[in-house]
Amino acid sequence: MAEYVVGKIDDIPEGKGIAVEAGRRTIAIFRVAGKLYAIANRCPHKGASLCEGEVVCEDGIVRCPWHHWNWQLGDGKLETDPRQGLRTYPIAVDGDDVVITV
């Protein structure tokens, strides 16, 4: 387990993703209705970058920009078939820093 500082809270736009490299992993970071989420960036369907996806509801779902697979940011599960899931990572605010644990 390693901790990475993503940036300041204001570096993460509301309702729009960014991507960071933490070690060998590429992780998409979202802030939706004030809540932070960290999820594997690569959609396993065809490889799109989820950080480019649209946040489609305040419940925290990111819609893949290519084929609209809806991933739940909270638990990483695919909305239509929750047996499929992406890895999510703990994310927290510590002072000014947003920190993910990978």
Binding site for other proteins (CB under 8 A): 2-7, 11, 18-22, 26-27, 41-42, 46-49, 51-52, 66-68, 90, 92, 94-95, 99-101
Cα 37 to Cα 27: distance, rounded to the nearest angstrom: 10
Residue identified by tokens 């729009």 is: 16
Count of other CB atoms within 10 angstroms of residue 34: 7
Q: Which is closer to other proteins, CB of 10 or CB of 101?
A: 101
* Separation of CA 90 from chain center: 10
User: Residue 58 CB, nearest distance to other proteins (Å)?
Assistant: 18
User: Residue 79 CB, nearest distance to other proteins (Å)?
Assistant: 15
